[in-house]
Amino acid sequence: QVQLQESGPGLVKPSETLSLTCAVSGYSISSGYYWGWIRQPPGKGLEWIGSIYHSGSTYYNPSLKSRVTISVDTSKNQFSLKLSSVTAADTAVYYCARSDVTYVNFDYWGQGTLVTVSS
């Protein structure tokens, strides 16, 4: 059974870089599929952040592209998100998920992790 688990600091200071990791179990990232990040500010809707293929090819939300980096570590079967220059508007629950080649059919999700941006 495929499982995803997000991890990382729950509190980040404004202007710093948010860093999260998603550990995948039950499936080898190297075997295929795309691996993505989605976020949800408290009480608001979902926002597509970006996706990565095991080869390292990345696809980003144009509105976040200048601040986002998604990377993959196939040896550890995990992938990561870095979001730079964060503000309070980046406070959200961050989910990692698996999708097919369309980047929008997410069939397995992590439980989500709340990241708060505050000094």
Partner 1 sequence: QSALTQPASVSGSPGQSITISCTGTSSDVGSYNLVSWYQQHPGKAPKLMIYEVSKRPSGVSNRFSGSKSGNTASLTISGLQAEDEADYYCCSYAGSSGVFGGGTKLTVL
β-bridge mates for residue 56, sequence order: none
C-beta closer to partner 1: residue 11 or 101? 101
| 100, HSE (Cβ side, Cα atoms, 13 Å) | 3
* Site for partner 1 contains 35 (CB under 8 A): no
Tell me the site size for partner 1, rule CB under 8 A. 26
| List 5, 61, 74, 84, residue binding partner 1 (CB under 8 A) | 61
Does 95 engage in binding with partner 1 (CB under 8 A)? yes
24-32, 67-75, 77-85, 106-114 -> range binding partner 1 (CB under 8 A): 106-114
* The two three-digit tokens of residue 7, written as one number: 């991890």
Contact status: 107 vs partner 1 (CB under 8 A): yes
Q: Is 31 helix (H, G, I), strand (E, B) or coil?
A: helix
Report DSSP state, residue 47: E
Could you tell me where the beta strands, DSSP code E, fall in 1-119? 3-7, 11-12, 18-25, 34-40, 47-53, 58-60, 68-73, 78-83, 92-99, 106-109, 113-117
Does 28 bind partner 1 (CB under 8 A)? Our answer is no
Please identify which residue in 92, 110, 115, 117 interacts with partner 1, judged by CB under 8 A: 110
Q: Which listed range, 15-23, 24-32, 48-56, 70-78, lies at the site for partner 1 (CB under 8 A)? A: 48-56
